A and B are shown apart, each in its own frame.
Chain A
Amino acid sequence: MSSPTITCRQSRRKVEHALRVLSLCLAAAAIILASGLCLYSKSPTRIERPVLLVLAALFVMPAFKSELLMLLQKLTAFYLVCATVSELSGAYLEFPFSSINIKLSYSVMILVPCATGELIARLSPRDVSQAGERGGLLSGWVLAFAFIAAHMLVLWAFLEMFYGYGCQHNLSVLGGLCRYLLLFVFLNERLSELRFRQCVGLLLVLCFAVMQMKA
């Protein structure tokens, strides 16, 4: 193989590596932000036993050979990240201007860097080894969304018929589901990386340990 070809491949590999690192950094930054905000939030969700979440975060860190354990680690890490993000639901960052009051949801602030990281990661070749598992979980998301939406539609019709009002919260519930789905899409591949998972695990251990001490 000629040396220009090798040089070209090496430089391409370097670019791909840099993109991967950048996408991981962005996702990590989003999770750090979520954990930080979670610690300072007024905590809309009641965590009765943070110690269990600390243990779960510790489970995320070791390197297992079993595919099942790796899947469970990834899912646990995702659950814990979602737990920090769920603490921010209903919280907004306000930018009061003279005439208009702009509100920015904290969730958006978490989702944007994750989405940017995913976009950057898509510039390099993707890992297709876990496509089956990803597809299976995505079918679960679609089915869950369909079930909840169908229930809401039926209930809206019933409530209108009997009481003359629908339920105004219903769309927010679907919005919450979409938020976690987006987070899943953006973080799924990042959480497959052992080093990233270990960083996230360590961060979450600290976050939930502080929460336990505060409790």
Chain B
Amino acid sequence: MLWWRTYEFDRMQPEGYDMSERIIDKNESTAARPVRSRVLQTSNRASRLIGGWADIVGLVLATVAVAASAFHFWPFAQSKAWQMLCPSNLAVLAGSGILVPFFLLRRTRRKVTQLLPHASVFAYLSVAALSIAFAASAARAVAFTAKLVLMLIGAYTLLNAAIANTRRLRTIYAVTAAAAFTSVAGSVLARFVFGSDGFGFFDNAYKYGTYVGILTPLCSGYLFASGRLWASSLAALLLIGAAVSSGSLGALAAITAGMTAFAVFSSWSARLCVVGCLVCGVGLVVLFHSNPAFDSLKQDVRLAENDRVNLKQRYIEWQAEINLLLKLSLSGTGAGCINDERSSFYERLPKLNTLAAFDQNGWLATAAETGFLGLVCFCWVVSHYGFSAWRQIRQAGADASNPAGRFALANFAGLVAACVANLFSSVHYNGILVVFVLLLVFISRTGRLFGDIRCASESC
């Protein structure tokens, strides 16, 4: 009988680079226990990033970055300075500031290097940097690229360093779930209790939809997969709350796609729970569709504009971005500069002005801003982590008793949701990107639990 089981990271041994995590069967003989405890001690010492204060500060900053993302730009949503220096971004900036000296020191450089993201992320960033040469506004392109670097490298490294063992992985999952609950509760209260047009801490339906669209399948999947009644109840509450409070098609599509992906690979009981919650959520929306709070959702789901003559502006924007690709196929408009050029590419399409300025499709926006090669590199990022998540699902399916299967299921659901959410919005948006990066870190960390060598050797 397995009476206890734990995971440990061996990833930071002084000499080798074996990131595979050992699963130690605690049912081993008493004679073997001293050996095991020695292994655990070595591993715990080795698994720390730098050790001491830097380790603790890193964990605190990572927790703040994830938890603060729930509040988005609240309470100064209109302030540009606050948008850049919100607590989430500041925590990542401070964390990166701590990591940089350790990277520069030869003694600790190796440890920091091992925490960096996969080469595909660097490839994407280099294409984004090169696209600055073609941007009409250098300042905008440089600022956008700097934000990408900060999040995709700084936040990734910080979060990766913070999740040094399974206990911390669970802690960050719990913080993420708390952040999702906070944003959903804020939106439900604002819209259904106080009758506000906003979405709690988010002022925009698309931003809120992308945020909860990614986090709801991730956190609900994690909670459902635990198999405990209280966790399943929380997951059901989160799922129904997110479905009811979402005001965009993208959010509903992302939640449905993510939870369907989760249900396909999970147990029958979890499948029933997911289907029940989705039916409940959609049922509530249909039942109370006359409530003014659902107006934005009803408008967003429709294919036509209010005039019933024109196609919804979202799809016109999609076509404008494809038209743009014809002329600026390689260079794009420059990173972050799509809004400067989009209006020149409507051609025979009507120019409507019914949408808030917001990227309506992350995939096409990436292609339009950084060119085909930028889109290819971004797809490489998604496919690398996607294949990793898929391998984890397969491994978890082969070994049902493996507790890490819970993480694998949640991550896969989250990634599917992120891909769908990126169709109707953009994961590159300031304040949302940190959630996407968190998802990549979760996938990478879970891969190490499964001893996925391709995940382990991600930074070259």
Contact = CB atoms under 8 A, between A and B. Distances in A.
* A, B co-complexed: yes
B64 interface: no
Interface in A84-98: 85-86, 89
Contacts of B459: 68
Interface stretch (A4-12, A159-167, A194-202): A159-167
B301 to A, nearest CB: 14
B107 interface: no
B32 interface: no
A173 B364 CA distance: 12
Interface stretch (A28-36, A111-119, A134-142): A134-142
Contact of B322 (A53, A78, A162, A167): A167
A67 to B, nearest CB: 4
Contacts of A155: 315, 318-319, 322
A172 B326 contact: yes
A18 interface: no
Most buried by B among A53, A139, A180: A139
A123 interface: no
B132 A49 contact: yes
Contact of B373 (A46, A82, A143, A173): A82
A105 interface: no
A56 B128 CA distance: 13
B273 interface: no
A75 B126 contact: yes
Contact of B372 (A68, A132, A162, A176): A176
Interface stretch (A19-27, A144-152, A185-193): A144-152
Contacts of A137: 123, 376, 380
B44 interface: no
Nearest to A54: B133
A71 B331 contact: no
A89 B330 CA distance: 10
A: contact size bracket: 35 or more
A44 B327 contact: yes
A62 to B, nearest CB: 15
A165 B348 contact: yes
A169 interface: yes
B: contact size bracket: 35 or more
B83 to A, nearest CB: 26
Contacts of B155: none
A89 B373 CA distance: 16
B85 interface: no
B330 A139 contact: no
A176 B371 CA distance: 11
A170 B319 CA distance: 9
Contacts of A49: 132-134, 138
Contacts of A180: 329-330, 372-373
Contacts of B119: 67-68, 71, 133
Nearest to B118: A136
B412 interface: no
Contacts of B460: 66-68, 71
A48 B138 contact: yes
A83 B120 contact: no
Contacts of B126: 72, 75-76
B123 A48 contact: no
B219 interface: no
B239 to A, nearest CB: 27
Chain A interface SS verdict (over half)? helix
A41 interface: no
Nearest to B363: A147
B377 interface: yes
A19 to B, nearest CB: 29
Nearest to B454: A132
A161 B364 CA distance: 22
B235 interface: no
B383 interface: yes
B311 A148 contact: no
A169 B134 CA distance: 22
Nearest to B380: A140
Contacts of B136: 46, 48
B174 to A, nearest CB: 33
A48 B140 CA distance: 14
B81 to A, nearest CB: 27
Contacts of B130: 52-53, 56, 76, 79
B120 A136 contact: yes
A64 to B, nearest CB: 11
Given A47-B134, A82-B330, A136-B383, A72 B122 contact: yes
A49 B136 CA distance: 9
A47 B330 CA distance: 11
A177 interface: yes
Contact of B331 (A83, A132, A163): A83
B330 A75 contact: no
Interface in B78-126: 119-120, 122-123, 126
Interface string B336-380: 000000000001100000000000010110010000110111111
Given A86-B329, A148-B375, 4 more contacts: A56-B133, A72-B122, A75-B123, A76-B130
9 contacts: A45-B327, A48-B334, A56-B130, A68-B460, A72-B122, A75-B377, A86-B329, A140-B378, A165-B348
The 9 closest A-B pairs by CB, nearest first: A140-B380, A68-B460, A67-B460, A143-B379, A86-B330, A52-B133, A140-B379, A176-B329, A162-B311
